[in-house]
Amino acid sequence: MDTQQTRILQDLDAAHHLHPFNDNAALAQKGTRILTKGEGCYVWDAEGNKLLDAFAGLWCVNVGYGRSELGEAASKQMTQLAYYNSFFQCTTEPTIRLAAKLAELTPGDLNHAFFVNSGSEANDTILRLVRHFWAVQDQPEKNIFIGRHNGYHGTTMAGASLGGMKGMHKQGGLPIPDIAHIEPPFWFYDGGDLSEDEYGLVAARRLEDKILELGPERVAAFIGEPIMGAIGVYIPPRTYWPEIERICRKYDVLLVADEVICGFGRTGEWFGSEHFGFMPDVMTIAKGITSGYIPLGAAMFNDRVAGVLKAQGGELAHGATYSGHPVCAAVALENIRILQEEHIVETAKTQIAPYLAQRWAELGEHRLVGQARIAGLMGALELVPHKGQRTTFDERGTVGALCRDHALRHGLILRATYDSMLLSPPLVITRAQVDELFEKAWAALEDTAEAIGV
């Protein structure tokens, strides 16, 4: 695209397009980056820059860009039957096959899918249907969801309320009633003198304290991301999730794993709950289910919850026009076929994750980096003012943004949350591309350190 054409598009964008999670006035001044092409782990922008996408779009392009089979699956389904709904006692073949496939792929007895269009809507669905699950069993007061401060569960009224981002709560009158939050498990800043394993138990027992404070008869469910993504890839100690599971079972509180980021191979297992060895009652999925090629989300329910909803729930007064959209289901099935037949998750776990962890640890040696954490193909570099000390910069986020911009100059897309540099590449990244990622990230760290005089 020539410069003039790019400029025209940027002006139209500034005039007519409100961007999510952006200061739109500042963005209009600067001009958006327009992406034009993707292939494997790379994307190209309108100025012709080739960028290594170490963030897989927005944690979602698991099979990489440019897989024409996914377009072909969509085209075939659109030609045959572009749309039909799952209301009115109807549905379509891809929708049925996807529900069955998800029942097979997800662990344990998570055997029942409710389809929506995004992770946010899946969490809305879970909030409503879990409350309904308790209500039809004569426990309408057992309706409180406990989430975590700085958790991320989407941006709808329910999703943003379940999440614990203060900035989001400030806009739109959130959280909605009967949602509580506990502190997240983040040893680096919160662990004090405890070992990581000791701290994991302490952090998990905050859930027990909260349940006892509210009364177990009031608490419907606990929701958490196995690894907290958006806030900065907080990887909990191994002791955390089993203890959370024990507490949920003790008080008959449903355990909801929000696997929107962790699902479909991100941690090296198919689901993050398998990485940590716990069994959710309900699971949120989206993103990697279609590798981001088309919108789709789902709430997965276990036999107990779905059994009650079916036997006692009556008509479920919930659903969207596009719940179980056949084209989205066909693309998801093709995406899962690619992941399975090409052994992408296993290869990522056995061939790539160990090498990536090694190179990530080398980045951890850099004088700006206080911690290099990683699980599977999901990691963060914590930038700190004083190496060896677990303290933050006075003004949080400036150095992270600087590092992100330097990375971009070197042709690398790395995401910054405050001063955590986040990593989540397509699962198909090769060892050579891991080396390229390392070189570019190191160069960005060097430029950042130089710019702030470290």
326-385: contacts with ligand PXG (CB under 6 A): none
Q: How far is the CB of 136 from ligand PXG (least distance, A)?
A: 26
Q: Token pair for residue 177?
A: 């009633």
Among 191, 224, 229, 288, binds ligand PXG (CB under 6 A): 229
DSSP 239: T
By beta-carbon proximity to ligand PXG, the closer residue of 40 and 229 is 229
CA–CA distance, 277 with 141 (Å, rounded to integer): 31
Residue 260 touches ligand PXG, criterion: CB under 6 A: yes
Q: Which residues of 278-311 are buried (b: 16+ CB within 10 A; e: fewer)?
A: bbbbbbbbbbbbbbbbbbbbbbbbbeebbbbbee
295-314: contacts with ligand PXG (CB under 6 A): 297
Helices and strands in the chain, H and E counts = 18, 15
Q: How far is the CB of 23 from ligand PXG (least distance, A)?
A: 15
Residue 286 touches ligand PXG, criterion: CB under 6 A: yes
CA distances from 391 to 12, 363, 384, 387, 416 (A): 43, 19, 7, 9, 17
Number of residues that bind ligand PXG (CB under 6 A): 18
Q: How far is the CB of 121 from ligand PXG (least distance, A)?
A: 7
Q: How far is the CB of 297 from ligand PXG (least distance, A)?
A: 6
By beta-carbon proximity to ligand PXG, the closer residue of 19 and 387 is 19
140-179: contacts with ligand PXG (CB under 6 A): 152-154, 159
Q: How far is the CB of 308 from ligand PXG (least distance, A)?
A: 24
Q: Token pair for residue 373?
A: 């954490």
| Tokens 């779009």, residue located | 57
Closest listed residue to residue 290, CA positions, set 311, 250, 260: 260
Residue 225 touches ligand PXG, criterion: CB under 6 A: yes
Position with the least CB separation from ligand PXG: 119
Residue 290 touches ligand PXG, criterion: CB under 6 A: no
Can you spell out the DSSP letters for 314-334?
A: -S-----TTTT-HHHHHHHHH
Q: How far is the CB of 184 from ligand PXG (least distance, A)?
A: 13
Q: Residue 421's beta-bridge partner residues? A: 381, 416
Closest listed residue to residue 364, CA positions, set 348, 386, 380, 385: 380
Residue span 104-143 as binding mask against ligand PXG, x where in contact by CB under 6 A, dash where not = --------------xxx--x--------------------
By beta-carbon proximity to ligand PXG, the closer residue of 233 and 348 is 233
By beta-carbon proximity to ligand PXG, the closer residue of 266 and 366 is 266
Q: How far is the CB of 116 from ligand PXG (least distance, A)?
A: 9
Residue 58 touches ligand PXG, criterion: CB under 6 A: yes
108 three-class SS: coil
Q: How far is the CB of 152 from ligand PXG (least distance, A)?
A: 5
By beta-carbon proximity to ligand PXG, the closer residue of 154 and 370 is 154
By beta-carbon proximity to ligand PXG, the closer residue of 332 and 449 is 332
Among 258, 274, 334, 436, binds ligand PXG (CB under 6 A): 258
285 three-class SS: strand
Q: Residue 110's beta-bridge partner residues? A: 302
Residue 316 touches ligand PXG, criterion: CB under 6 A: no
Q: Which residues contact 368 (CB under 8 A, 6 or more apart)?
A: 383, 384, 387, 399, 403, 445, 448, 449, 454
Residue 230 touches ligand PXG, criterion: CB under 6 A: yes
Q: How far is the CB of 117 from ligand PXG (least distance, A)?
A: 8
CA–CA distance, 205 with 145 (Å, rounded to integer): 16
By beta-carbon proximity to ligand PXG, the closer residue of 94 and 288 is 288
> For the purposes of burial, counting CB atoms within 10 Å of the CB of 432, is it exposed (0-12), middle (13-18) or buried (19 or more)?
exposed
Amino acid occupying residue 151: G
Q: Which residues bind ligand PXG (CB under 6 A)?
A: 58, 118-120, 123, 152-154, 159, 225, 229-230, 258, 260-261, 284, 286, 297
